[in-house]
Amino acid sequence: MQVRINKLHPISMFKTFRIIALTQVFTLCMALLPITQAHAASDPLRTADGAVVTRGDFIRGAVQVLNISTNDEKTVLPYMRVASALTPFVIAAHKKGALKVFGDDLLLAQGITRGDALFVVAKLGGFRSMQTKTDYTDVPSGSDLENAVAMAIENNWMAPVRDNIFGARRMLIGKDANLLLRKVRGDDVPTFEPQTEDMIESAPKIRYNIQTQPRASTPLPKSQILEALWELINKEYLYEDRIDPDNAAYAAAEAIMKTLDDPYTTFMRPVTSRNFQSQIRGEISGIGAQVEQKDGYLTIVAPITGSPAEDAGLLPGDRVLEVDGVDLVPLGFLDAVEHVRGKRGSTAKLLIWRNGSELTVNVKRDTISVPEIIITWNGNVAIVKLVQFGRLTETELRGQVAAINTKGAKGLILDLRNNPGGLLDAASVVMSNFVPKGTSVARILSRLVTRTEKTTEDPTLDASVPMVVLINGGSASASEIVAGSLQDAKRAIILGQRSFGKGTVQQVIQFNDQSAFKMTIAEWLTPDGRKINGDGVHPDIEILEGDRDEQLSRALELLR
């Protein structure tokens, strides 16, 4: 769950606990979620005001605003991965020399910076500045960018963020992009108002909905030293073109997160933040594996059912040491994940550490549709396999279990093996099928509050129908909540292998420049107070996995 804020809006803890995705094992994929927002009919772009504009959308908008012909169908583009819908606009911009700022791979889905946007506009329109020099430390002297920036200042198309810094490397957001393109088009629009630090600071804040005494704000440690360093760098550092305010700020944020020594608490730059989407809904693209940073290694939690990762034989507990020859061990978690991801149809060559030895596994990246609920029957025993705890589980499972009850099932097997978890609400819905209304699901502990999650609906399966729950090392987070809760309630026999041991809750907060902050905010225990984080759920009957599905066979024996 991502929470959009200006600067930093505190979020109600109670609301956050209800909606946050408990699964923080990262999926090697990318899901795109739509952002909807009303726009004026005159806006060249339909990007949300606070969202980062992609390169592709800006190129298309700029070409249309400047009325550049897009009828050339013969030019062969030298770039990779250009969507057919964008091809006419890319051809038009390429012929004007407006794309050389992006290099050989346009990466049209990535965000565009303020400086790159001005470069594109200047080249497309053939605009030249009357000035020969600017005084901004982030704009190289004598460059095409300097001309574009000077041209923007002369025409009041864009304003600097500070006296000596233009903000060329900052990401361009929808509101500013539309204002820029409308000015280029000649519309009568207000004076450009950049989002400077002062404006962001004055944005309204949402207050905590917790009845506690307000805490004094905690000042940034050694802030005077940091401010002095930055001032000296801007005044006296020899290589001015290397001064990158955004990169410096992001690097500082990343460094603060590293001091916490918590793999689940990270700062994400805009590009990484946009890629940080779980597979809670929709299609995903990648190798189809849930991964986690464990003991310093990128570790497979579970391959998604039917995914390339499963087809290639990747197993829970596999450590990914290298991908395509790149050593992942020294990299941070998110950087390592980005290296494993790639273009659909390409092959990831993974060096895997398994049971004390190395092996190479080739996985073809693809688009995967993730099912959530798979129901089969073995005689009069229903087998309900949950692939993840997402929206379908939350909205459809109760009806399907009720249908199983109507058919007179004599037993039910809940298969949570290799299920990496998902939404807390979905876990509560799953539990509600099998236990009385008001039964405890989990105890959630944070610095500010401790509360108990309980079921809110009547069960759909008759209490006389016996149950077995299957778990293994790939069962994590919400899967462990359900298994542990059913075990505490003595409603089901837990069979298989010890679960993964993911018992903390993370909250994702997104800033207005599209960077984000993922932070551990709570830990959950089973209703009886058993710790899960690092320990996992221990089965009542332990059966190791083998070539045959001995776990399922034993479960069927118990229910007959």
Helix (H) or strand (E) holding 174: helix 174-185
| Whether residue 502 lies in the annotated active site | yes
Where is 284: in which H helix or E strand?
strand 283-286
The catalytic residue among 175, 488, 515, 518 is 488
> Which 8-state DSSP code applies to residue 206?
P
The yes-or-no answer on residue 488 being catalytic is yes
Give residue for tokens 């037993």: 411
Paired with 284 in beta bridges are 368
Helix segments in 341-423, DSSP class H: 391-406
Q: How far is CA 42 from CA 181, 185, 186, 189, 361, in A?
A: 10, 10, 12, 11, 52
Distance (Å, rounded) from C-alpha 60 to C-alpha 362? 37
Helix (H) / strand (E) containing 542: strand 541-542
DSSP letter for each residue of 306-352: TSHHHHTT--TT-EEEEETTEE-TTS-HHHHHHHH---TT-EEEEEE
Q: Are 60 and 86 in contact (CB under 8 A)?
A: yes
Contacts of 267 (CB under 8 A, 6+ apart): 250, 253, 254, 256, 257, 515, 516, 517, 518
The kind and range of the H/E element at 452 are strand 450-454
**Which single residue is written with the structure tokens 């007959």?**
560
Give the distance from CA 407 to its chain's centroid. Answer: 40
The active-site residue, picked from 477, 479, 485, 499, is 477
The full DSSP string for 461-520 is: S-TTS-EEEEE-TT--THHHHHHHHHHHTT-SEEEES------EEEEEEE-TTS-EEEEE
Given 123, 183, 502, 518, the catalytic residue: 502
How many whole angstroms separate alpha carbon 405 and alpha carbon 425? Answer: 22
Cα atoms in the Cβ-side hemisphere of radius 13 Å centred on 127: 24
C-alpha to C-alpha distances, 463 to 266, 324, 354, 434, 455, nearest whole angstrom: 43, 52, 42, 7, 15
Computed on alpha carbons and rounded to an integer, the radius of gyration of the chain in Å comes to: 27
Active site residues: 477, 488, 502
